[in-house]
A and B are shown apart, each in its own frame.
Chain A
Amino acid sequence: GENVEQHPSTLSVQEGDSAVIKCTYSDSASNYFPWYKQELGKGPQLIIDIRSNVGEKKDQRIAVTLNKTAKHFSLHITETQPEDSAVYFCAPPSGAGSYQLTFGKGTKLSVIP
């Protein structure tokens, strides 16, 4: 199965600053790399994902970068806002061809106004 490590576990930034969260995975055959945002008491919401044939993807203030050689992908949030405060999870597939996802332990992001 996939071994997933996510860092940092907590992150505090001033409003307007950038935040970066890194996810390391073990299965070199993985080809799908999503990031989820979970607000308190709610289910996770997909915020951005990338596939292995692309190195970077951006959606307004959110971006994901992928380094397949080093087996890690990162979430970048620019111009952070208080509403970005949440727990973020990376969740690569559990194995080549698997429909299951393996969730990282999560990063609690706090944006300080």
Chain B
Amino acid sequence: GQSLEQPSEVTAVEGAIVQINCTYQTSGFYGLSWYQQHDGGAPTFLSYNALDGLEETGRFSSFLSRSDSYGYLLLQELQMKDSASYFCAVIEGGGGNKLTFGTGTQLKVEL
């Protein structure tokens, strides 16, 4: 089966940089995605990594190391509106098309 681990909560101040880590165990890894979800809202796609390295999209970057089964989401210049839950999700390749989500990291941005 698959398992993903990410911290349950992270707190940071406005304007700072925060890194949310995700480690995974899977038998058929294809890629790692990140989603943001505000309270009561729908998950919103942030980024996707299939290859090792850093992907940058504005203030958000995502990193993947396949050999270490590890990835992270980096949020820069934090804003109050970034307070939300962030989920990493493993994509199982081959014949499957399943997205398995981690339990989520609640990010709280303070003044």
Instruction: Please indicate whether A and B come from the same complex rather than being unrelated chains.
Output: no
Give A residues with C-beta under 8 Å from B: none
Seen from chain B, the residues whose Cβ lies within 8 Å of a Cβ on chain A are none
